[in-house]
Amino acid sequence: MNDENFDTLLQNSDPDRRLAALLAPPEQRQRLLTLYAFHHEIAKIAEATSESLIGEMKLTWWRDAVDDLYADPTKVRRHAVTEGLSELTGLIGCDALQGLILARLDDVTARPFADLDEVVAYVDATAVALMDMAVRLCEAELDKAWTQSAGRAWGLAGLLRAFAHRASIGRAPVPGDHLSREGGSAAMMAQGLGREPAAIAVKPVRTAALQAMAEFKALGAIPAAAVPALGYAVLAPAYFKRLPDDPFAIATEPALLGRQLRLSWLALTGR
């Protein structure tokens, strides 16, 4: 799978990150597409695997493959993504990639979120961490406040959009302590039950998403060098406002053309 194939893969699986990456110069664009292809590979494991043991084995394969890239001598496994990652080891550390993999373990084992702090910590370890790496690949100098607010805005909105699916695998983005107080449980939600308790218990997550969006907006114009790495976060409000009151209901998406135009405007203005 070459870079063109990564682009095709992401066009379907991660279109908004891809659109932002296309704003980067060719070399940086290649780096970003490779990183996002890696993210796709590990994120899809929980979705594609019904047995937790098999999912854990697949994550272990990726952990070992990443370790091999940083070993002496280096070993590159025969996989398009690992071959691509081998070009990025001078810019991204082993621990950063391993952190992304480790963050997906609870998805595979279907461990419910205990409280809001755990939901936010999961987003920090996935969406925010991925954004931090993307910024490094773009060689942009950026304060942590940018990726923390942008990553949380994007990550929390994304979890809410995927509520029904994540509930089905036991990982609904809802604080367990709030859910239990409302008489709900992860087991109920996995069966599509407990809609009323879920609608109430998910409110703190919605509030956290709105707060992150406000913090991101308050930072002002995004530095030009960082636009390809985190610019897609400006689309989070458009997704958020389409979220239905029923968290299990399918949210509509903003039109592709509108998202393209929004990112084009961002590239011109930084806003």
List the structure tokens of 178: 């709030």
> How many other CB atoms are there within 10 angstroms of residue 179's CB atom?
24
Q: Taking phi first (over 0 means left), then psi (-120 to 50 degrees means alpha), and beta for anything else, what does residue 143 get?
A: beta
24 phi/psi in degrees, rounded to 5? -85, 155
Q: Give, for all 271 residues of the chain, the pLDDT tens digit.
A: 456 689 999 999 999 999 999 999 999 999 999 999 999 999 999 888 878 999 999 999 999 999 999 999 999 999 999 999 999 999 999 999 999 999 999 999 989 999 999 999 999 999 999 999 999 999 999 999 999 999 999 999 999 999 999 999 889 999 999 999 999 999 999 998 889 999 999 999 999 999 999 999 999 999 999 999 999 999 999 999 999 999 999 999 999 999 999 999 999 999 9
Reported pTM? 0.95
pLDDT score for 46: 87
pLDDT score for 50: 77
Count CA within 13 A, CB hemisphere, residue 52: 10
Please provide the distance, in angstroms rounded to a whole number, between the alpha carbons at the two ends of the chain.
34
CA atoms 12, 18, 22, 28: torsion sign: negative
Count CA within 13 A, CB hemisphere, residue 209: 27
List the structure tokens of 45: 């494991």
- Cα–Cα distances in Å, from 93 out to 69, 88, 97, 149, 168? 10, 9, 7, 23, 34
pLDDT score for 3: 62
Q: Taking phi first (over 0 means left), then psi (-120 to 50 degrees means alpha), and beta for anything else, what does residue 110 get?
A: left
Q: For 193-218, give the DSSP string.
A: --HHHHHHHTHHHHHHHHHHHHHHHH
